[in-house]
Structure 1
Amino acid sequence: MLPLGEPKFRRRPADRPAEILAAALEVFAERGFQAARLEEVAKRAGVSKGALYLYFETKADLFRAVVTDAISPNIARATAAASAEIPFETAARMALGLLARTVVTDQRISGVVKLVIAESRNHPELATVWHETVVEPGLRLMSGLIAAAQARGEVRPGDPRLFTFGIMGPMLLSMVWRETFEPIGAGPIDVVKLADQHLDTVLTGMRP
């Protein structure tokens, strides 16, 4: 049996990175980047600040790891699910539906979106991380599906990237709404229902 009071990070060393990233996601979402303190991340993760520095040298390194760990896998799952070989409308609903259920509805992630919007002018590295890890992979996924569908004659001519902005726009708006207006009493948005209804509308306009 381990001695009473054994530090948590020594009891479960294999869990240490995951626990740190989960705690950091919460702290970044609640505090923002500037106000986030590594001491608080370490405390919530049950590790010492020194142990945290064994994995992440700077707060920016930790933020990059959080985005890569918490969000990037969902983009990868959407990519795997929405094959360009299936009808475009089916693929689009699978991809946007998965993102709506796993990313957009997660209040911690919408808190990070607010963080990026609010603090990227003073910390441009935050925008760079978000763009490289989330925005561009998502745009490539949907743009590729649209281009393949255009080649099959399923989607009318037009810039696939601009079509993608039109499809994805309400998802970003819903996160901004949650973080900005719901705290002052505005009614919540059902993001999954919004995604379904929006696709009903936009896909009709994209047909030849």
Structure 2
Amino acid sequence: MSLDPRPRQRRKETRPQELLDAALELFVEKGFAATRSEEVARRAGVSKGTLYLYYPSKEELFKAVVRQKLSQLIAEGQDMVGSFGGSTSDLLRQLMHIWWERFGNTPAAGIHKVVIAEVRNFPELAQFYADEVITPADRLFSSTVERGIARGEFRALPVHDVATALMAPMIFLALHRHSFGACPVHGVEMDPMAVLNTQLDLVLRGLETRA
């Protein structure tokens, strides 16, 4: 009697995702430097040799996690800017809400903590992150602001400075989720979505043109 090969084939197809999920968990828990490749393989339920078939080094594994969780989201946001039919204020609201739902409010938000804590010790990864995340994210929000200025919806302000003002609270909320927000610390209660909406209200009131 022949065995059905399909379960094994399905496992092979899902293995890269299992490895990325395990790597993300360990990078956030332990940091990049302290995470070992064999730990990632063990958590994903495969051998170290199998891990290297898909990702030849820990650095390549980290890059794959960043590309999947951040680069792809930024690229989709840029496509949205080009096709959006509503006001630029509504576009910014949607971009920031989608970011929170798909990244900020997920385990992947811990990537920010890993990068800020360790990337200075890994120059190659620092350049990779700048090329893959920082520059495209600045381009995304700068082009959005430029759209609003061109349509007469926003005042003419330095677009890169505005982009930084928009991104800063998003990074703060992601860091908070994986630092104080992950600890049983009693203090000022924070509703991330309320903070995000308040920041948007403040920025948009400063951007929007007035009659």
Equivalence for 2:90: 90
- Residues of 2 paired with 1:39 and 1:16: CA distance? 15
TM-score, length basis structure 1: 0.88
Report SS of the residue matched to 1:169.
Answer: helix
Confirm or deny that 1:100 pairs with 2:96.
no
Root-mean-square deviation (CA), in Å? 2.3
Equivalence for 2:205: 204
- Residues of 2 paired with 1:93 and 1:207: CA distance? 14
Report SS of the residue matched to 1:36.
Answer: coil
Q: Deviations over 1:101-159 (max 9, x none)?
A: 111112x2232211111111211223223222222222111110111211121111111
Conserved in 2, the CA contact under 8 Å of 1:143 and 1:164?
yes
Shift of 1:77: 2.9
Shift of 1:73: 2.2
Shift of 1:44: 1.5
Moved more, 92-101 or 169-178: 169-178
What is the number of equivalent residue pairs in this alignment? 204
- Residues of 1 paired with 2:58 and 2:42: CA distance? 15
Shift of 1:17: 1.0
Q: Deviations over 1:26-60 (max 9, x none)?
A: 11111100110111111121211001111111111
Kindly provide the amino acid, as one letter, of the partner of residue 92 in structure 2: A
Kindly provide the amino acid, as one letter, of the partner of residue 92 in structure 1: L
Shift of 1:10: 7.1
Runs (4+) of structure 1 moved beyond 6 Å? 8-11
Moved more, 82-91 or 139-148: 82-91
Equivalence for 2:42: 43
Q: Counterparts of 1:134-173 in structure 2 under 5 Å?
A: 134-173=133-172
Identity score, percent: 37
- Show structure 2 runs of 5+ residues with no match: none
Confirm or deny that 1:60 pairs with 2:32.
no
